[in-house]
Structures are given as structure tokens and as C-alpha cells.
Structure 1
Amino acid sequence: MKDGFFEVHAENCMGAGGPPHRVLSAIREDYPLSIHGVCMSIGGPEALDLTHLARFRDLVACYEPMLVSEHLAWSSHGGTFFNDLLPLPYTKDTLDKVCAHIDQVQEAIRRPILLENPSTYVAFASSTMSETDFIREVSQRTGCGLLLDVNNVFVSANNHGFSASAYLADFPLEHVGEIHLAGHSEQLDDENELLLIDSHDRVISDSVWMLYRDVVSRIGPRPTLIEWDSNLPDWPVLRAQAMTARRIMNEHGIVLTGELNHEV
């Protein structure tokens, strides 16, 4: 597959030189690049880490990726970093903070970002708006695009008992600039109820493929990434996942298709 793109986690490439940059530079010579941040803590109540933002800015300036994205989540508080993407309450106060943070990031890198919808396992009783309304308002106020993670939608829908199809019907699809697909795992929570985990360690489920097909039928093809971060299979399995996404997109036109989430 010669017309794909590679996506890298920004934080894996923020050091000064070394093997990550040698590999990334070689990839950049032949493929479009997407830079995906995971630690900006855009959804947190505290100010952004300016050192981290500067490193993010410099990485974007160095490689000039076709896409830049971050998560609607938080991961640090009071000087402590949590190795996870944590949910936030959907309130006016949180909305104002998220928009201010996105404006700050976009001003620093001098371009719009894509904001990814989260996978969540708990929800806040204090929320006063739906996730889709919150995301729509963020995009309208900041001008950012959206990264639609279809597996995240499916995981959250199952964990919270809402309809994934209804969520997508209310999602501002017109602002989607990239799509993520991934596999999820199942486990039981403390109350012996089924809990889906956005694990990125197996093939994409049939249900997620169905949702993806529905999205593409509505908005046409978008750059699509197959995320697979652990328990990596043999290459033919990865390629088959990418080819399935390609076939679905080819039904509605042709754009770049990501083959896997290659973290360097």
C-alpha cells in the first residue's frame, strides 16, 4: 500500500534527535504524516503546560504534517501526570476552558487542530449538555476540526447504555477531518457488568465497521487510521484491516487511508 499515511504520537518524538527523529524523517520523505497529541490535557481545569506546548509547536513546525490532532480529555492535575485520558463534565465552565485551551494551541502552531471524541467509562452527573452538543459548540467557537473515533463511540455507547447510531446522527459530521478505527476488549466491572475497553489490541469489530460504513455514506471518505498499539499481529492481518477501510471508502470515492498507528 503506497498511498497511505502514518500517524505518530507527538510525545514519542519530543526529544532532541535520536532514533525517533531519524525514523520519522525517513517516513516523512515518502508518506504524509499525522501528528496526534495525547498529553496536552486540553480538557483539564488548569493552564496548559507551556513547555509541553512549545515542544508540540516545534514538532509540528519541523515536520509540517497534513493533520494535527489532540483529545477531548485531561491527564494532569496539580503537577501530577496520569497515564490515561480522563473524562470531563460537559458544562459551560468546562466548555469555556476547553475552547480557551484549543485557541491557545492553535495560536501556538498557527493552524487548526482536530479534536478527538473520547472513550469513557464514567460520566459526570453535573453535565448540563450532551457530548455531541459540547463538541459541536467547541468546533463552532474555535474553528477546530474533529477527529471522529468510531470505536470510541461504540465503546462509550455500550458502557453508558446509549445508541451509537443516535450519537452519530447528532454528531457534527461536517467538521470531521479524520477518522480512527480500532479494536476493543471486554471485561467485567466491579458489579459484574460488561465493560468495553478501547484497547487497540485486536481486529475491529463488525459493529464498528457497520458504524464506519454509515459515517462514510453520509460524509464521504476521510483519512482513516487503523489504530493497533499492542499485541501486534502479522502484517497480513493489519493489511486486511486497512484494505477493508479502503473498500468502504472506495464505494464513495478515494482518499488517503492510514495503515496502522505507528508509534516511534
Structure 2
Amino acid sequence: MTVSAAAPARAGVGLKAQHYEDILGQRPDIGWFEVHAENYMGAGGPPHHYLEAIRRDYPISLHGVGLSIGADRPLDESHLQRLKVLNDRYEPGLVSEHLAWSSHGGVFFNDLLPLPYTGEAVAHVSEHIDRVQSVLGRRILLENPSTYVSFEVSEMSELDFLQAVSLRTGCYLLLDVNNVLVSATNQNFSAEDYIDAFPMEAVREIHLAGHARDRDDAGNVLLIDAHDRAVDDKVWSLYARSIARAGMTPTLIEWDNDVPAWKTLFAEARTAERIMVTQYALQAEMAHAAAG
């Protein structure tokens, strides 16, 4: 590897096969790339050929979608070992997973499914994270989910759950701002209050994405975490609010479906970086004025 593994406090994008040639041909001024770990768990072939070439010039992060951290069953050890191989091979700056479950009884689902926020769930999620961190030899990041329903049996808020797991395991957190807006809209709570209360001291990465709008059976607005369009203005506003608290933080543009041309995705990353720098400078100026 010829560049540092650490993901810089800049904007990055999810790496897509459609953009391999653009990236290698243009060598764009972008902070880093993120890949879905499961897309690179084969031994070789074109995906690794391109990822190795891109990793020589850019830091990367691994974002897992298949460990099923929230499942009420032991982790799939073969899957975890494949993740370790990737971690050792590419030396990613960050490794993250979702607070969700996606498999049961040997059946894998296409969705990241929610779990109740209980003390028992804190214990088994923490046990899974401890195992992952032990195998990888590093701290991972846990991402807040996008949700459409809540469980009556939940004993604590999502924020309390995330903080409890982070404190218990030492894992970091990945703040997905689009997920915050999706969940807040669908469940009728304040996205701003959620951002204001989020444990930013544990955040090491932020995600931004687009969402689709629909209506539920009662005619209420329903947001779907679609990752198929540009970042919404409300998400940009919540992102600026997040940076005001978190400071300069590696920020990813997620665009997984209906993937656009490279220049469109790159422009989204540039917007994120402008907001990050502007908001950070504003907070520094305010702090300086207060100190003076």
C-alpha cells in the first residue's frame, strides 16, 4: 500500500464498478472510498484487480452488511474469517457494520431488520461486537439504522442503546444522517433533537444518502432509505448540524441503486466537503470570539 490507511476527515464515496475506469483514469481529488465487504469476499478476479489499484492511491473503508450483528444467534464464523482476510489484505482505515440483523436459521434476507432495544439485546450485540473486534484486532463502527416501526418491548431509546453498546465494547459509532431523517419522519420524532443528543464523542464516520418518499396506508409521509438519488436538502441541513458538534469527520456519500455518472457522484462529495469545511470554520470562529 502506498498511501496511509487512515480515512482522512474529508468526503468520500462508495466505490462502484461503473466508476473503476473513471477513477483510475482521472485520479480525482477525493478523500477516500468505501466498499461493501461482501462484494470482495471472493479470492480474486476483476473486483480485486481494481480495488488493489485504487487502494494504492486512496484510503478505503470496509462497510459490512452481512454479519447480522443484531441477530439472536452466534455469528457466522466463516463470514467473519472472510472479513478478516479482507481487513488484513487492504488495511482499511475504518470497518463498520449495521445495528440490524439479516439472517436466521441459515436464511439470509435482503433487508437490514431492526431489533428491540432491551438489556438482553445490548448484551448479545455487545458479545458479537467483542468477537468481531477480537478477530480483526481493531475497533469497528456500529451504524444507527433506518427504521419504519418500533418495538413495544423496547426498554430504552435507540440513542441509549447505541451508547450502552459503545461503552460496553469500546466500539465507535457511524452516524448515518439520512437514516436519522428516515426514522424520525416515519416514527414522528425530531431529527434535530436526535442529532443534538447523539454521542458524537464516539463518532468516527458519517454517512449521507438519498431517500424515496411514499405514503403509508393512512396517507402519512413514509421515507424509504433507497440510496438511489442525490442527498436531500433536509439531510444536508442535518449534516451541517452534525458537523457543528462532531467537527471534521470522514463523510461518505452512499449511492447504491440507479448509480449515476461519476461526475454526479463526485459533485455530491464536493458538496459534503464544502459544508464540512464551512461549518467547522464557523464553529472555530465562534469559539474564538467567545474566548476573546
In the alignment, the residues of structure 2 paired with residue 77 and residue 111 of structure 1 have an alpha-carbon distance, to the nearest angstrom, of 27
Task: For 2:262 and 2:48, locate their aligned partners in 1 and report how far apart those are by CA, in whole Å.
Answer: 24
**Deviation for aligned residue 1:191:** 3.2
SS at match of 1:244: helix
What is the alpha-carbon distance in structure 2 between the residues aligned to residue 224 and residue 53 of structure 1? 25
Secondary structure in 2 aligned to 1:6?
strand
- After superposition, give the CA deviation of every residue in 1:14-63 in whole Å (9 maximum; x if it has no partner): 01111111111111100001000001000110100011011011110111
TM-superposed deviation, 1:234: 2.9
Q: Larger radius of gyration, structure 1 or 2?
A: 2
Alignment correspondent of 1:223? 250
Residue 205 in structure 1 maps to residue 232 in structure 2? yes
* Partner of residue 259 from structure 2, selected from 232, 241, 254: 232
Structure 1 residue matching 2:201: 3-state secondary structure: helix
Moved over 4 A (4+): none
| 1:101 matched to 2:146 | no
Is 2:147 the partner of 1:113?
no
Structure-2-length-normalised TM-score: 0.85
Aligned residue pair count: 253
What is the CA-CA distance between 1:241 and the residue it aligns to?
1.2
- TM-score normalized by the length of structure 1: 0.93
1:199-231: CA deviations, max 9, x gaps?
011111111100000111112110000001111
Structure 2 CA distance for partners of 1:21 and 1:235, relative to 1, 3 Å: closer
What residue number does 1:44 align with? Answer: 71
RMSD of aligned Cα (Å): 1.0
Unaligned runs of 5+ in 2: 1-27, 282-292
> 1:77 corresponds to which residue?
104
Alpha-carbon shift at residue 72 of structure 1 (Å): 0.3
Asked if residue 16 in structure 1 is aligned to residue 5 in structure 2, the reply is no
Question: Please, which of 179, 182, 199 is the counterpart of residue 206 of structure 2?
Answer: 179
What percent identity do the matched residue pairs reach? Answer: 60
Does the Cα contact within 8 Å between 2:195 and 2:241 map onto a contact in 1? no
Query: What is the CA–CA distance in structure 2 between the aligned matches of 1:234 and 1:12, rounded to whole Å?
Result: 20
How far is the alpha carbon of 1:232 from its aligned partner?
2.1
2-structure distance, mates of 1:234, 1:36: 22
The answer for unaligned runs of 5 or more in structure 1 is: 254-264
Q: CA deviation at 1:179?
A: 0.4
SS of the residue 2:71 aligns to: coil
Which residue matches 1:262?
Answer: none
